[in-house]
Amino acid sequence: MAKAGAFKLKPWQAGLIIGLVASIAQAGYYLLPTAVAGVAKYKVSPPAYGFCMFCHVRDTVNWVVQNFVPTVTPAPISIIAPTLTIFGVLLGAFVAAKRNKQFAWRQTIHPGKAFVWGAAVSFCAGLLGACTLRIIVRAAYLEPFAYVGIGAIGVGAIIASMAFLKRGLG
Amino acid sequence: MDSVWFWSLITLVVGFIVGYAAQKSGFCSVGGWRDLVLMRDTYLLKGIGGFLIGGVIGYTILSLTGGIYFSSQFPWFYFKQWAMIPGSVFTYKNLWVGWTIAALGGLGMGFFSVLAGGCPLRNATMAAEGNKSSWWYLLGFALMAPVVVYLFTLINPLGWF
């Protein structure tokens, strides 16, 4: 590896790496047992589930809830062990930012607004059944709908950008 | 070794690599569309293409080496045709209803992601770079995720259509 901060990736290169890792991670399901004490035999391997910001965060929260307030029935995979994807992402990005000396506390949009947008994105992700990343993983799984989903996300993003252009940035 | 926790470890490592690559490149799966409209720039948009190609290569390698758990899944279209990969909170019986609802979700996700400054992955990397707004975003995101699932299983346990 090059010196700290010396190398930079182009988005398409990063996309290639992320795509490869996210798809190969699917093989990890082989390492899970098919039944655990307390949980009936479950189906392993939701398709194209190697990486997802929404689903894995939901599973993590589910696992915590399940362990402290066992009143709800979450997805089987999250009863067994929590998915730590989000912590991995935060850790990886933090290490990279520190090495690049790009870490600095700042604030871009109002916290309340950010909270509401986060919840809104989460809600829509629930309807879609994937985040903007997993829909691409699903497209790589060659599911026809995923291409419609990518298109829908693109149209939504273009509408919002047009609104920005109309009203002026900020 | 009891491999239940192995899955957690794998997701942690996968997340680490993805987060590292995303921070190094500024990868964003929604920002590409925004830059296309606002700046006529396809620099970020190529990230989606790279992601897709990487994913197809990865899955092809997996299916050739028998690494996909259910072997009759990978070229999804070949085995399941137009069916959706399950995951949407909206359970349905009619294919077109499912497609429409999910597409509406995608539309809203693109819209709100632009307002929030990037896709969930981009916001997570920005949070790790010290952006306080993104921490609030992630809080809203994480709190809403189970809520929307329970909400829909509550009002729609068997599916309407």
Q: Do A128 and A95 belong to one domain?
A: no
> Where is pLDDT greater, at A71 or A20?
A20
Q: Do A33 and A100 belong to one domain?
A: yes
Residue among B37, B114, B130 minimizing CB distance to A104: B130
In this predicted model, what pLDDT tens digit does every residue of A10-58 receive, in sequence order?
A: 889 999 999 999 888 887 777 666 655 555 555 556 778 888 888 888 8
Band (B86; pLDDT cuts 50, 70, 90):
confident
Q: Do A71 and A55 belong to one domain?
A: yes
Q: Do A31 and A46 belong to one domain?
A: yes
Within a domain: residue A9? no
Listed residues A81, A105, A129: the one ending a domain:
A105
Please tell me the predicted confidence (pLDDT) of residue A35.
59
* Nearest CA among B102, B106, B103, B111 for reference residue B152: B102
Listed residues A105, A132, A160: the one ending a domain:
A105
CA atoms within 13 A on the CB side of A153: 32
H-only helix segments in chain A: 11-24, 53-68, 76-80, 85-99, 111-128, 134-140, 144-167
Please tell me the predicted confidence (pLDDT) of residue A79.
64
- Among A44-48, A58-62, A72-76, the minimum mean pLDDT is found in A72-76
Q: Do A71 and A116 belong to one domain?
A: no
Give contacts of A114 with chain B, Cβ < 8 Å.
Answer: 116, 133-134, 136-137, 140
What range does the domain containing A86 cover?
A: 25-105
Query: Does the CB of B64 have a partner CB in chain A at under 8 Å?
Result: no
In this predicted model, what pLDDT tens digit does every residue of B22-33 receive, in sequence order?
A: 999 988 888 899
Calculate the alpha carbon distances from A61 to A54, A94, A144, B148 in Å: 11, 22, 30, 12
The mean pLDDT value for A148-153 works out to 93
In this predicted model, what pLDDT tens digit does every residue of B99-139 receive, in sequence order?
A: 888 899 999 999 999 999 888 999 999 999 999 999 999 99
Query: Angle at the Cα of A72 (from A71 to A78), degrees rounded to 5?
Result: 120
In this predicted model, what pLDDT tens digit does every residue of B140-159 receive, in sequence order?
A: 999 888 888 778 777 765 54
- With a pLDDT cut of 70, the percent of chain A lying above it is 76
Euclidean distance between CA atoms B111 and A124, whole angstroms: 10
Q: How far is B18 from chain A (nearest CA, A)?
A: 5
Contact A65, A82 (CB under 8 A): no
Domain count, chain A: 2
Euclidean distance between CA atoms A86 and B44, whole angstroms: 22
Band (A159; pLDDT cuts 50, 70, 90):
very high
Please tell me the predicted confidence (pLDDT) of residue A75.
56
Angle at which helices B95-116 and B31-39 cross, to 10°: 60
Contact B119, A133 (CB under 8 A): yes
Calculate the alpha carbon distances from B99 to A128, A147, A155 in Å: 9, 11, 16
The mean pLDDT value for A138-167 works out to 90
Listed residues A64, A84, A105: the one ending a domain:
A105
Are B85 and A136 within 8 A, CB to CB? no
Average pLDDT value for chain A: 81
* Sign of the four-CA dihedral B47, B49, B50, B56: positive
Q: Do A124 and A166 belong to one domain?
A: yes
- With a pLDDT cut of 90, the percent of chain A lying above it is 31
The mean pLDDT value for B54-72 works out to 83
Q: Do A140 and A117 belong to one domain?
A: yes
> Where is pLDDT greater, at B95 or A139?
A139
Give contacts of B86 with chain A, Cβ < 8 Å.
Answer: 46-47, 129
Within a domain: residue A67? yes
**B100 contacts: CB under 8 Å, gap ≥ 6:** none
- Among A48-52, A75-79, A137-141, A151-155, the minimum mean pLDDT is found in A75-79
Are A136 and B51 within 8 A, CB to CB? yes
Euclidean distance between CA atoms A134 and A138, whole angstroms: 6
Q: How far is B161 from chain A (nearest CA, A)?
A: 15
Are A18 and B12 within 8 A, CB to CB? no
* Total count of residues recorded for chain B: 161
Residue among B16, B68, B141 minimizing CB distance to A122: B141
Are B110 and A92 within 8 A, CB to CB? no
Euclidean distance between CA atoms B60 and B66, whole angstroms: 10
Please tell me the predicted confidence (pLDDT) of residue A51.
85
* Nearest CA among A29, A75, A5 for reference residue B146: A75
Contact B24, B30 (CB under 8 A): no
Q: Say yes or no to pLDDT of A1 above 60.
A: no
Six token digits for residue B50: 């790279």
